[in-house]
Amino acid sequence: MLTNLKPQPADKILQLMQMFKDDPRDDKIDLGVGVYKDASGNTPVMRAIKAAEKQLWEAETTKAYTGLAGDPAYADAMVALVLGTSVERDQVAAAATPGGTGAIRQGLELIRMAAPDATIWLSNPTWPNHPSIIKYLGIPMQEYRYFDNETGGVDFDGMLEDLGKAKAGDIVLLHGCCHNPTGANLTLPQWAEVIALMQDMGLTPFVDIAYQGFGDGLEDDAAGVRMVASEMPETIIAASCSKNFGIYRERTGILMAVGQDKALHKVTQANLAFLNRQNYSFPPDHGARLVSMILTDDALRADWQAELEEVRLGMLDLRKNLASELQRLSGSDRFGFLGQHRGMFSRLGATPEQVETLRRDHGIYMIGDSRMNIAGLNAKTVPILADAIIKSGI
Ligand code: PMP
């Protein structure tokens, strides 16, 4: 049987991580991997997570199963965090999932059950796991233009034109904030235009929000998804706690299905629980429990928000410093988009050859499409990167 298996393509990011490890240069810089790093290059456990873990260790009396959709307190806390007061709680069916990836996978399975003829429209580019899982599930997909390599911003006209080719019932996958890999995001008026188009054409939004709090702040980062959820008849949302709570390996995410028609809530909720049951039964609980403890305890929440804000502002500073250093060295504003982008990533707009030059000649590692993890920088390496970018002819 196993002889029938075909080799799987190597994961490019993991390959790059290995190359970085094997590189003997002391001054090498890793802008590849997609986790937050502080100025010393560590991915720390957040203070509130440590405190909640301590409390949990003392108070937890059982490890018995939770519900199939996870702990209801986690769902309540996450619905409030992501959706605020944009919809009523009984409009949202929600199930805990293993990470944001689990939520995406379950959301796609829900779509396949409920809309077997739908095509999923993806931004070009998008997080590579999106098309990978969609393809694996055998769901048809199409791309819409999203990133303008010339300006470093969103190609909004191209996006609307391409989405105009969708058919009624199709699904539009949107990044809630901090677009991965580009860092270029829709403005609120642009969200409103996309909503109007989806309403006119009978499309359903699927919003992936994996970096709430990493861009413009917890509330602002959720403004787009909240507008979508309150104005569209139905919205599917996959949210991840990996980045904003720093609990990557705990696998903490949530799938939400928002409907204006409250009569559908019960059957939708039952289907989310059914999908969990088929795929892994009960979702992981440890990370979810820490998240709900933090979100419902004033002191823990305040400390978490303060630390998240430090993380966000630190990345924003690095962006601004990189943009201004590049302005100084290039004598032009052509890298100004780096200061406009939000979140952990920016697409530099370099060719694969230039990316290779950065790696070979300067020991600077970024993904082949020139996605940089801004959190991989620090005050010392910003000018080094800027200099290397100019020297590589970018
Ligand atoms: N969506 C996007 C756009 C992401 O970048 C990520 C993480 N790389 C995820 C979802 C899911 O992350 P996780 O499964 O680790 O929660």
Q: DSSP of 142-160, one letter per residue?
A: EEEE-EETTTTEE-HHHHH
What is the model's pTM? Answer: 0.97
The span from the CA of 290 to the CA of 287, in Å, is 5
Specify the pLDDT at position 10. Answer: 83
CB count in 10 Å sphere of residue 161: 12
Please give the backbone phi and psi of residue 93, each rounded to the nearest 5 degrees, phi first: -90, 140
Percent pLDDT > 70 in the chain is 100
Question: What is the pairing mode between strands 253-259 and 234-240?
Answer: antiparallel
Q: What is the DSSP letter of 10?
A: P
pLDDT at 12: 82
Query: What does R_g of the chain's alpha carbons equal in angstroms?
Result: 21
Angle (CA) 361 363 367, round 5°: 105
Angle between helices 223-231 and 72-83 (to 10 degrees): 100
Q: What angle do CA 130, 257, 233 make, to 5 degrees?
A: 105
**Mean pLDDT computed over 82-101:** 98
- Concerning whether 375 is annotated as a catalytic residue, the answer is no
Asked if 32 contacts 17 with a C-beta cutoff of 8 angstroms, the reply is: yes
Q: How far is the CA of 206 from the centre of ligand 1 (A)?
A: 14
Catalytic annotation present for 243: yes
Predicted pLDDT at 9:
85
CATH class in words for 12-46+301-391: alpha beta
Residue nearest to atom 12 of ligand 1 (CA): 100
Give the range among 70-74, 147-151, 160-164, 235-239 with minimum mean pLDDT.
Answer: 147-151
Arithmetic mean of pLDDT, 156-177: 98
Q: At 287, which amino acid appears?
A: G
Dist. CA 62–CA 205, nearest whole Å: 39
Catalytic residue among 51, 75, 95, 210: 210
- 157 pLDDT band, cuts 50/70/90, is very high
Average pLDDT for 219-235: 98
Q: pLDDT category, 11, cuts 50, 70, 90?
A: confident
- Ligand 1 centroid to residue 159 C-alpha, Å: 22
Question: Ligand 1, closest atom to CA 101?
Answer: 14
Would you call 260 helix, strand, or coil by DSSP?
coil
* Residue 3 scores a pLDDT above 90: yes
Residue 178 has pLDDT above 90, yes or no: yes
**Distance between Cα 243 and ligand 1 center (Å):** 8
Q: For the segment 37-56, what is each residue's pLDDT rounded down to a tens digit? A: 999 999 999 999 999 999 99
Task: Using the predicted structure, report yes or no on whether residue 335 has a pLDDT greater than 90.
Answer: yes
Residue from 121, 191, 223, 243 carrying the catalytic annotation:
243
Which of 82, 101, 347 has most ligand 1 atoms within 8 Å of CB, for mutation?
Answer: 101
β-strand pairing of 120-124 with 141-145: parallel
- Residue 33: predicted pLDDT: 83
For the chain, the structural domain boundaries read 12-46+301-391, 65-296
CA–CA separation, 92 and 78 (whole Å): 11
**Measuring CA to CA, which residue among 29, 127, 46 is closest to residue 376?**
29
Write the residue with the smallest CA distance to atom 7 of ligand 1. 210
**Is position 165 annotated as part of the catalytic site?**
no
Question: Among residues of the chain, what percentage have pLDDT more than 90?
Answer: 97
**Who contacts 331 (Cβ-Cβ below 8 Å, separation ≥6)?**
none
In terms of DSSP bridges, do strands 92-97 and 120-124 run parallel, antiparallel, or are they unpaired?
Answer: unpaired
Which tokens is 24 given? 């003997």
What's residue 13's pLDDT?
Answer: 84
Q: How far does the centroid of ligand 1 lie from the alpha carbon of residue 327, in Å?
A: 32
Under CATH, which number does the domain 65-296 receive? Answer: 3.40.640.10
Q: Report how far residue 14's alpha carbon sits from residue 32's, in angstroms, rounded to the nearest whole number.
A: 9
Taking each helix axis from N to C end, the angle separating 129-136 and 99-114, rounded to the nearest 10 degrees, works out to 40
132: number of Cβ within 10 Å: 12
3-class secondary structure, 33 = coil
Same fold across 12-46+301-391 and 65-296: no
Catalytic residue among 148, 208, 221, 369: 208
Ligand 1, from 133, 173, 178, 180: best to mutate by most atoms within 8 Å of Cβ? 180
Ligand 1 interacting residues, C-beta cut-off 6 A: 34, 99-101, 127, 175, 180, 208, 210, 240, 242, 248, 253
Residue 240 β-bridge partners:
253
